[in-house]
Amino acid sequence: MRRGLPTWLLLLPAVAYLVLVFGVPLGNTFWMSISEPTLGLQNFETILTDPLYARVYLRTVLVAGTVTLLCLALGYPLAHYMARKGGLVAGLLLGACGLCFWISYLVRTYAWTVILGNRGPVTALARWLGMEQPPVLLFTTTASLIAMTHILLPYMVLTLYVVLARIDANLIRAAHIMGASHWQAFTGVVLPLSLPAVVSGCLLVFIFCVGFYVTPTLLGSPKDMMISSLIANEIETLLDFGSASALAMVLLAAVLVLLAAYDRLVGIDRIMR
Amino acid sequence: MRRPEAPGLVNAVLAWCVVGFILAPLVIIVPMSFSASSSFEFPPPRYWLGHYRTYFSAEGWLLPTLNSFLVGIVSSLVTLLVATPAAFAVNRREFAGRRALQVLLLTPMLVPAIIMAISYYSVFGQLGLNQTYAGIVLAHSCVSIPVVLIALSASLRNLDRNLERAAAICGATPAQSFRLVTLPLLRPAFILAGFFAFIHSFDEATIALFISGREVSTLPKRMFASIHLEADPVVAVVSALMIYAAVLAMAVATFLRQRRPA
């Protein structure tokens, strides 16, 4: 068949744009991490040896891990229910999850400041139940955990649902005919078949969570900073571009390792499908 | 006895609880926007329309809203222009390094926004692009390239290439067949991809926080400041308006999908 424009010409605008507006700024940040204030690796030395920084990395990983597990624990039952129920109910529930993608995460973060605030419904409920000193939730790590779980949950649900819905119902029927209980059919057939989706959903949520900035800043405790808040803090209050850039490079390296794992296990290009 | 593949009662209860968790925060916003309280109080003591009036009369809110629309529209157009040829190449051509390129084109979506935010902040600072429309449009177009690619790829693969072959057999040049057959067929995909890019820009807060100043402040930046510093109840109005828009958009999308012949 006759072809139109050469392939390289089709790719040129996107690649050039990516190099100039994505590659150059990232390259500049890398350069700053080894040249501010003087050329050398001292920024990396500080941020990789100081126990204060180590605590932030540990906290980031713990928070992201917790959010991932919460998303899995909440998302799996919902995705499983939608997949097995099918029909209008599944359509409606899917719509509810889809709606979240259309609503800014700032809106959802704001909603949680109201719900968890000291004049919100949770505190009111605690008072009504007779608690003298209702628990303080806003501006704690718990608050940012809840909100991040809420924001990332739809990604997990949809990733799981796509795979769960494709499992042939005949396999489950077959398990029953062979005498399996509902639980056995689930653990023996459905769960193993859905494991790739579990891995892919968890990695996706974890990757999004380690770099989360807005929600932890608005809801979390300033004492329990995650790495992204620390990066912002180095720039906004300390004007220390060197440390901030080095921290950004550490975060980038961590995300790239996770992405490589995702690519090996799932294939990043599968996102396009 | 229930069908073996049907979900059990425990599963149903759990699932509906999770949906409640997903929807509750969105439901709470609407009454909050009509609250007469001047702080974040729920349930509201009294109801009125005062905060809506404030939103629609305060330049401090209307200007960021306008900025967000402007930046969103321009950056989604830029992204479409840049990413559309690449979408064709990646989905229709075989070339060495295609998979690597595909992965590369998706990375702007996967790299944490805070890294891009400080990178743009320092580069744009040297170029004088901080606190300008051009700066935000450049940055937002970059991070929505993957969004447009994903949206276009799905439609490009589903497009029946026999239609283009038919055009070629009828004597159309590649350019003619592209203009008269491919583009009209893909028009819905372009609209959808552009819309996703717009939403992506409209919702983007982290990069905007760093590189948009007071003059070109976007709506998410303004909302961030309001929640962070002043607990301004007008945030509830903005949030409620966004929820109305999202529900409306979902309804329109569902309606269009059902109307289209299978």
Q: What is the ipTM of this complex?
A: 0.91
Give the model's pLDDT for residue B1.
54
Pick A225 or B229 by higher pLDDT.
A225
* CA–CA distance, B139 with A29 (Å, rounded to integer): 15
Closest to B37 measured CA to CA, from B22, B25, B48: B48
Interface contacts A/B by beta carbons within 8 Å: 274
Angle of helix B50-57 versus helix B234-259 axis, rounded to 10: 90
Confidence class for position A273, pLDDT limits 50, 70, 90: low
Q: Does the pLDDT of residue A218 top 60, yes or no?
A: yes
Closest to B156 measured CA to CA, from B184, B177, B182, B178: B182
Which fold does the domain B59-230 belong to in CATH?
MetI-like fold (1.10.3720)
Question: Would you tell me which residues 65-124 of chain B have a C-beta closer than 8 angstroms to some C-beta of chain A?
Answer: 81-83, 85-86, 88-90, 93, 95, 99, 101-108, 110-123
| Chain B hits for A80, Cβ within 8 Å | 7, 11, 15
Instruction: Answer yes or no: are the C-beta atoms of A219 and A109 closer than 8 Å.
Output: yes
Give the model's pLDDT for residue B249.
87
Q: What is the CATH number of the domain that holds A103?
A: 1.10.3720.10
Instruction: Answer yes or no: are the C-beta atoms of B130 and B211 closer than 8 Å.
Output: yes
Residue A83 domain-assigned (yes or no):
yes
State how far residue B187 is from chain A, nearest Cα, in angstroms: 19
Angle of helix A227-236 versus helix A241-265 axis, rounded to 10: 150
Number of domains within chain A:
2
Which residues, 6 or more positions from B94, have their beta carbon under 8 angstroms from its beta carbon?
none
> What is the average pLDDT value for chain B, to the nearest integer?
89
Confidence class for position A13, pLDDT limits 50, 70, 90: very high
| Chain A hits for B8, Cβ within 8 Å | 182
CB pair distance less than 8 Å for A245 and B118 = yes
Option in A2, A21, A100 nearest B168 (CB): A2
Classify burial at B240, counting beta carbons within 10 Å of its beta carbon; exposed 0-12, middle 13-18, buried 19 or more: buried
| Chain B hits for A99, Cβ within 8 Å | 26, 246-247, 250
* CA–CA distance, A183 with A131 (Å, rounded to integer): 39
| Chain B hits for A238, Cβ within 8 Å | none
Residues facing residue B35 across a β-bridge: B47
Is the backbone of residue A49 left (phi > 0), alpha (psi -120 to 50) or beta? alpha
- Looking at the fold, whether A116 and A15 belong to one and the same domain comes out as no
Closest to A120 measured CA to CA, from A135, A130, A103: A135
| Chain B hits for A214, Cβ within 8 Å | 205-206, 209, 224
Confidence class for position B2, pLDDT limits 50, 70, 90: low
Give the model's pLDDT for residue B262.
42
CB pair distance less than 8 Å for B114 and A228 = yes
Q: Look up the pTM and report it.
A: 0.90
Domain of residue A165, residue span: 51-272
State how far residue B212 is from chain A, nearest Cα, in angstroms: 14
- Looking at the fold, whether A156 and A196 belong to one and the same domain comes out as yes
DSSP of A34-88, one letter per residue? HHSSSSSSHHHHHHHH-HHHHHHHHHHHHHHHHHHHHHHHHHHHHHHHHHHH-HH
Residue A42 domain-assigned (yes or no):
no
* CA–CA distance, B197 with B203 (Å, rounded to integer): 10
The 10 Å Cβ neighbour count of residue B102 is 20
Amino acid code (one letter) for B125: G
CB pair distance less than 8 Å for A214 and B174 = no
- Looking at the fold, whether A3 and A103 belong to one and the same domain comes out as no
Give the model's pLDDT for residue B256.
79
The 10 Å Cβ neighbour count of residue A44 is 17
CB pair distance less than 8 Å for B142 and A154 = no
* CA–CA distance, A224 with A246 (Å, rounded to integer): 20
* CA–CA distance, B251 with A37 (Å, rounded to integer): 54
Angle of helix B133-158 versus helix B183-203 axis, rounded to 10: 140
pLDDT digits 0-9 by tens, B220-230: 999 999 998 87
CA atoms within 13 A on the CB side of B232: 21
pLDDT digits 0-9 by tens, B135-162: 999 999 999 999 999 999 988 888 888 8
- Tracing tokens 């599963």 back to the chain, one arrives at B11
Residue A41 domain-assigned (yes or no):
no
Closest to A75 measured CA to CA, from A157, A133, A11: A157
Give the model's pLDDT for residue B152.
93
- Looking at the fold, whether A21 and A97 belong to one and the same domain comes out as no
Which residues, 6 or more positions from B73, have their beta carbon under 8 angstroms from its beta carbon?
B198
Residue A45 domain-assigned (yes or no):
no
- Looking at the fold, whether A133 and A2 belong to one and the same domain comes out as no
pLDDT digits 0-9 by tens, A129-167: 888 788 888 899 999 999 999 999 999 999 999 999 999
Question: Would you tell me which residues 103-142 of chain A have a C-beta closer than 8 angstroms to some C-beta of chain B?
Answer: 103-115, 117, 119-121, 124
pLDDT digits 0-9 by tens, B75-124: 999 999 999 999 999 988 888 888 899 999 999 999 999 999 999 999 99
Confidence class for position B177, pLDDT limits 50, 70, 90: confident
Which H/E stretch holds residue B180? none
CB pair distance less than 8 Å for A106 and B153 = no
On whether any CB of chain B is under 8 Å from the CB of A263, the answer is yes
Please report, to the nearest 10 degrees, the dihedral formed by the alpha carbons of residues A62, A65, A67, A68 taken in order. Answer: 180
Option in B5, B106, B123 nearest A28 (CB): B123
